[in-house]
Amino acid sequence: MTHTIFVTGASGKLGRAVVTHLIDTFGVVPSRIIAGTRNPEKLADLATRGIAIRKIDFDDPASLASGFSDAGTVLVISTDALDGAGTRLRQHKAAIAAAAKAGARRLAYASLPKADTSHVSFAPDHLGSEDAVKATGLPYLIFRNSWYAENLFMSLPQAFKTGQWYSAAGEGRTAFVARDDIAAAIAGALANPPAGSATYTLTGSQAFSNGEIAAMASSTVGKPIQVVNLTDDQLAGGMKAAGVPDAVIPTLVSFDTATRQGDLAMVTGDVEKLSGRAPATLRTFLAANASALAG
C-alpha cells in the first residue's frame, strides 16, 4: 500500500533535494509527501507544489508530539549540531521516538560509512541513531552517506590560493559523491522501498587519495597544488595557528584520521542501484565547479 513519505530537515540542502527528486525523478504525487522543517517559510515553493509542510524542530518536544501525525515512512536527516556535548544524538533519538510513537510504518536515517568503527569524531552519534532506529522494531532504511564532493569546497579553494594542501590523510582514499546523487538514491529508495529493512552505503564510483585529487584538480583548474603530508598533531597545530576555533579542531582532524584509516574509501553500487543513474565522477564534479574551486 502507499503511505506518506515524511522528510525532516527539508529546507537543508540534502532534504530539499530528496523532496525534489521524489516528485520530479520518481513521480511521487506531492500529496504523499510531508516536508518537516524548523522554518516552514523557507519551503513556500514546495507548498505551492502541493506538499504538506510541518514545523518540526528536534529540540522542540511540542513540534515532535504533533508533527509526525499521518507519517508513513519517516526519513530523519541528521542535524548539524556538532557541539561535542551529545546534542545531536539526543535530537535524533527524540525525533525517532516521536515518529515511532505517532505510528510511522518505516524509519529511514542518513548516517555515515562504517558508523560502527569509523574514526570520524561524531560517528558514535550516527551509530547511536542507527541503533535507536533499529530498537523501534520498525522496518528501516539506513543510508550511510560517503563524503559529499561538495566538501572539497572546504579545502581546495584554500589549497589553490596557497598552492599547498595540508593533509594528514596520507594515502587514504575517499569515495566522494555529489550530494545530489545521494539525494536521488535516497529518494529512489523511499519511493520504491525494498521489503523489510536495508542498510546502504552511498558512495562515488571510485575512491581517490588527496594526492590523486590534487593532481586531478590541478589539471582541471590549470593551477598546481602540492599536498603537504602532516601528522594529526601537526595538522591540529597548523589549524590552531591559522585561528581555527579549538572546539572544532579535533573534529576536522578526525576527518583526515578516518580517511587515512580507510573509513571513507568504500565503493558500492548502491547509488546507481537506488537512483537508476551512475553517480557523477569526481572528474566531472571538478570540471563543473572549476571556477568556484579555484578560489
Ligand X SMILES: NC(=O)c1ccc[n+]([C@@H]2O[C@H](COP(=O)([O-])OP(=O)(O)OC[C@H]3O[C@@H](n4cnc5c(N)ncnc54)[C@H](OP(=O)(O)O)[C@@H]3O)[C@@H](O)[C@H]2O)c1
Q: Under the rule (CB under 6 A), what is the footprint of ligand X? A: 8-15, 37-39, 56-59, 77-81, 91, 110, 145, 147-148, 151, 179
The rounded distance, in Å, linking the Cα atoms of 148 and 152 is 8
The rounded distance, in Å, linking the Cα atoms of 179 and 181 is 5
DSSP lists the bridge partners of residue 131 as none
Nearest to 162 by CA among 77, 225, 80: 225
The rounded distance, in Å, linking the Cα atoms of 105 and 223 is 52
**Pick 92 or 106: Cβ nearer ligand X:** 92
**Pick 58 or 160: Cβ nearer ligand X:** 58
The rounded distance, in Å, linking the Cα atoms of 36 and 29 is 17
**Pick 154 or 162: Cβ nearer ligand X:** 154
Closest approach of ligand X to the CB of residue 119, in Å: 15
**Pick 79 or 201: Cβ nearer ligand X:** 79
* Residue linked to cell 565547479: 289
- Dig out the grid coordinates for 110 from the structure: 542518513
Backbone angles phi, psi at 51, to 5 degrees: -90, 140
Closest approach of ligand X to the CB of residue 195, in Å: 27
**Pick 32 or 144: Cβ nearer ligand X:** 144
The rounded distance, in Å, linking the Cα atoms of 242 and 246 is 11
**Pick 118 or 209: Cβ nearer ligand X:** 118
Is 187 within 8 Å of 126 (Cβ atoms)?
Answer: no
Closest approach of ligand X to the CB of residue 89, in Å: 12
